[in-house]
Amino acid sequence: MRNILITGGAGFIGSHAVAHFLTHYSDYTIINLDKLSYAASIENMATFASHPRYIFVKGDISDSALIDKLFVDYDISGVIHFAAESHVDNSIHQPDIFVKTNIVGTFTLLEAARKYWKNNTTNRFHHISTDEVYGSLGMDGFFSEDSPYAPNSPYSASKASADHLVRSYFKTYGLNVVITNCSNNYGPHQHKEKLIPTIIRNALNNLPIPIYGNGKNVRDWLFVKDHCLAIDKVFHHAKTGEQFNIGGNQELSNIELATLICKLLNEFRPLAKGKDYCSLLQFVSDRPGHDFRYAINSQKIQQQLGWHALTDFISGLNQTLNFYCALT
């Protein structure tokens, strides 16, 4: 039996990951530490809340006394660290909480692992990060694991800082760490503030669908369950100290994405008098420091660990639409 600490398991990706590890590893007990911020949702945990190998702890990752106690009480032998402030727009208006959670919180977890695991090199600390640490691309090229860090928002800067701390605990203390940097995730249970839920919700409520700037900014989209499969591969099979980029090879500009969702909704839930959801699209002032394009080269994880995305984009979007349409 292994006791694995998952942080942020009441959020979007973390809740999918808790479900994944409970389903696929019958010898794992999952301790989910989440402070239940505004971004968390009790419903995200509904499918596993009463699972016999699941324990929920409400608390803050920067509370060192609590983290130390969890390591001792549950004899934690692995950490998969999702908990973060995750919304770029919020980081522009309130950067301090991003520094506290994303940097100090990660440091607190690393310190507990270092103290409690001592010279154990089997127990693994997996840090979940973002491709946004690499900054912005032009029309061409892809981020690789060798791309220089160039974060542009307080969010991406705080994630980049955390990545550097994690790396330093490997180089300095020999802690068994791995880092994954993933592109934009989509799927059921994402918080309503994010782009795809906003497009769907506003469309279904007949409200303007806001698109930043000229809508030409490009993102690479990955279905959340494919991200969990990649994390599984890296957590179990990657070499210590390694870093992997994870992407869906599914690039779209924001306006292309919004138009596609509107077209799917035209079929899925037609409006009266043949009105097109696309008529709700509305360009709004751009986000300050808005990165133009992210695109991921996932060759390393594909070649070394045999991972590739399984869900095609339309099927993933349909699953996502089903979820949000059932709520509205």
- Least separation, in Å, of the C-beta of 213 and ligand NAD? 20
Catalytic residue, chosen from 60, 85, 134, 155, is 155
- Least separation, in Å, of the C-beta of 61 and ligand NAD? 4
Cβ atoms of 102 and 60 within 8 Å: the answer is no
Which residue, 197 or 265, has its beta carbon nearer to ligand NAD?
197
Element (H, E) at 6: strand 2-7
Which residue, 61 or 157, has its beta carbon nearer to ligand NAD?
61
Cβ atoms of 238 and 244 within 8 Å: the answer is yes
Closest among 88, 32, 86, 85 to 59, alpha carbons compared:
32
Give the residue nearest to ligand NAD (CB). 11
- Least separation, in Å, of the C-beta of 310 and ligand NAD? 18
- Least separation, in Å, of the C-beta of 105 and ligand NAD? 5
- Which residue ranges make up the site for ligand NAD (CB under 6 A)? 7-8, 10-14, 33-37, 39-40, 60-62, 82-86, 101, 105, 128, 130, 159, 182, 184-185, 191
φ/ψ (deg, to 5) at 86: -125, 0
Q: Is the dihedral of CA 189, 40, 198, 135 positive or negative?
A: negative
Radius of gyration of the chain (CA): 20
Q: Catalytic: 96?
A: no
Strand, coil or helix: 126: strand
Element (H, E) at 4: strand 2-7
Q: How far is CA 219 from CA 183, 197, 294, 296, in A?
A: 8, 15, 5, 10
The side-by-side arrangement of strands in the sheet containing 124-130 is: 54-58, 28-34, 2-7, 78-81, 124-130, 177-182, 243-246
Cα–Cα distance measured from residue 123 to residue 106, given in angstroms and rounded to the nearest whole number: 17
Q: Catalytic: 132?
A: yes
Cα–Cα distance measured from residue 35 to residue 67, given in angstroms and rounded to the nearest whole number: 12
Catalytic residue, chosen from 34, 60, 85, 132, is 132
Q: Catalytic: 155?
A: yes
Amino acid occupying residue 24: H
- Least separation, in Å, of the C-beta of 56 and ligand NAD? 11
Which residue, 77 or 101, has its beta carbon nearer to ligand NAD?
101
Which residue, 260 or 278, has its beta carbon nearer to ligand NAD?
260
Which residue, 129 or 277, has its beta carbon nearer to ligand NAD?
129
Closest among 163, 164, 171 to 128, alpha carbons compared:
163
- Least separation, in Å, of the C-beta of 7 and ligand NAD? 6
Cα–Cα distance measured from residue 29 to residue 53, given in angstroms and rounded to the nearest whole number: 5
Which residue, 33 or 229, has its beta carbon nearer to ligand NAD?
33
- Least separation, in Å, of the C-beta of 37 and ligand NAD? 4
Which residue, 195 or 265, has its beta carbon nearer to ligand NAD?
195
Instruction: List the catalytic residues.
Output: 131-132, 155
